[in-house]
Amino acid sequence: AQTVTQSQPEMSVQEAETVTLSCTYDTSESDYYLFWYKQPPSRQMILVIRQEAYKQQNATENRFSVNFQKAAKSFSLKISDSQLGDAAMYFCAYEWDSGYALNFGKGTSLLVTP
């Protein structure tokens, strides 16, 4: 079974600074997909960024980027120029195939201070 581990229950960052959220996973598959989701207080799940395992290039979406280390099974999220609106729970997730559900980590609560 695939497991996703987020070892940081809480993180704090000052506005305009950079923060990195960690995620590791365990799988025996060679092709899979990794995601970071944001869950604000409204609890609506919002996709932040997606990475295909077969792609060596790290995904980026504006201020959000990932450091994908396939051999180490590590998938960290870097948020640059943090904004107050970035405060939320962040979940790392793994997907093997489209017929399967997402497997989520326990989440990291991100606090952004002025």
Partner 1 sequence: GAVVSQHPSRVICKSGTSVKIECRSLDFQATTMFWYRQFPKQSLMLMATSNEGSKATYEQGVEKDKFLINHASLTLSTLTVTSAHPEDSSFYICSARDPWAGGPGETQYFGPGTRLLVL
Query: Could you list the residues that contact partner 1 (CB under 8 A)?
Result: 31, 33, 42-45, 47, 50, 52, 91, 95-107
Cβ closest to partner 1, residue 37 vs residue 86 = 37
Minimum CB separation of residue 42 from partner 1 in Å reads 7
Length of the chain: 114
> Torsion angle of alpha carbons 25, 30, 36, 37, nearest 10°?
-100
**Residue 26 or residue 100: which is nearer to partner 1 going by CB?**
100
CB of 16 to partner 1, least distance (A): 28
